[in-house]
């Protein structure tokens, strides 16, 4: 007697069980592909094949969804607050954050501007952990708590400024080989902006990682000098 045939499933694959991680991961995919404006509960429900109402269990509104996406990205940032080489640690964090920004450029506005609209204590815990960890790193290095906060602000101000500058679109005509035209500097009056026009080749030859390292060297050298003065104490 012939054994019965085993039928292979022909219907759609079983839906993956919903979880906060799955919802946020899909939300990040939408943002990466189409930008922040494309992310709505309705659109996310379509992407997941679920009723949008079922998603409110994992994010109470769109604002919470955006906060969750921010946390998801920042969770990829590894910080070792006990590292005795605080300068190397800050340099590595900066390059890692730059890499995350380049991977998820549409999320950068969430990282840079969204926190400004939310009081510190009301921000998602995942967005505050880098602050707590870097403060621990700096205080462990010898900075006073208040100085550590100033350093953090200067560090992130520089870092976000660099990231925004690197991501901005400054090419007028990418098909034009002439540097002045490509950067739009031909529009500047030669007599009023001689230095900017002369720097056209250097402006065009922009390499983000190198520029970041140069800026970090300036910043970290100044911070190291400040820390040395603090350790020396009064001399009078």
Q: Which of 96, 188, 182 lies closest to 133 in space, CA to CA?
A: 96
Residue 23, pLDDT score: 96
Structural domains in the chain, CATH included, are 20-72 (1.10.10.60), 170-210 (no CATH)
Structure confidence at residue 125 (pLDDT): 84
- Are the C-beta atoms of 108 and 98 separated by less than 8 Å? no
Give the relative orientation of helices 125-141 and 86-103 as an angle to the nearest 10 degrees: 160
- Per residue in 141-180, pLDDT (tens digit) is 999 998 899 889 889 989 998 888 888 743 333 443 344 4
Residue 233 pLDDT grade (very low, low, confident, very high; cuts 50, 70, 90) = low
Residue 134 reports pLDDT greater than 80: yes
Contact 200, 179 (CB under 8 A): yes
- Does 183 or 228 have the greater pLDDT score? 228
Measured N-to-C along each axis, helices 41-48 and 20-34 cross at an angle, to the nearest 10 degrees, of 110
Rounded to the nearest integer, the mean pLDDT of the chain is 80
Q: Which two tokens stand for residue 123?
A: 């921000």
Q: Are 81 and 134 in contact (CB under 8 A)?
A: yes
Query: Residues 187-202: pLDDT tens digits?
Result: 667 677 777 666 666 5
Work out the average pLDDT over 211-225: 84
| Closest to 40 in 3D by CA, of 59, 57, 21, 22 | 59
- Please report which helix (H) or strand (E) contains residue 87, including its range: helix 86-103
Angstrom distance (rounded) from CA 10 to CA 208: 50
Q: Would you say the C-alpha torsion 83, 87, 90, 93 has a positive or negative sign?
A: negative
Picking from 7-11, 39-43, 123-127, which range would have the lowest pLDDT averaged per residue? 7-11
């Amino acid at each position: 007697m012939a054994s019965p045939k085993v039928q292979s499933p022909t219907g759609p694959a079983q839906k993956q069980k919903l979880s906060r991680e799955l919802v946020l991961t899909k939300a990040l995919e939408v943002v990466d592909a189409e930008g922040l404006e494309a992310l709505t509960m309705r659109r996310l429900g379509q992407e997941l094949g679920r009723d949008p109402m079922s998603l409110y269990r994992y994010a109470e509104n769109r604002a919470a969804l955006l906060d969750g996406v921010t946390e998801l990205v920042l969770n990829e940032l590894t910080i070792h607050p006990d590292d005795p080489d605080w300068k190397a640690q800050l340099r590595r964090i900066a390059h890692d954050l730059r890499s995350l920004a380049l991977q998820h450029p549409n999320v950068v506005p969430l990282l840079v501007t969204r926190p400004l609209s939310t009081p510190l204590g009301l921000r998602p815990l995942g967005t505050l952990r880098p602050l707590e960890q870097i403060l621990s790193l700096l205080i462990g290095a010898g900075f006073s708590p208040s100085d550590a906060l100033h350093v953090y602000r200067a560090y992130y101000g520089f870092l976000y400024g660099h990231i925004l500058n690197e991501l901005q679109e400054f090419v007028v005509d990418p098909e034009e080989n002439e540097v002045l035209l490509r950067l739009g500097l031909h529009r500047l009056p030669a007599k009023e902006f001689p230095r900017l026009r002369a720097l056209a080749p250097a402006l065009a030859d922009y390499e983000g990682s190198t520029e970041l390292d140069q800026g970090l060297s300036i910043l970290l050298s100044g911070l190291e000098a400040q820390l040395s003065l603090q350790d020396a104490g009064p001399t009078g």
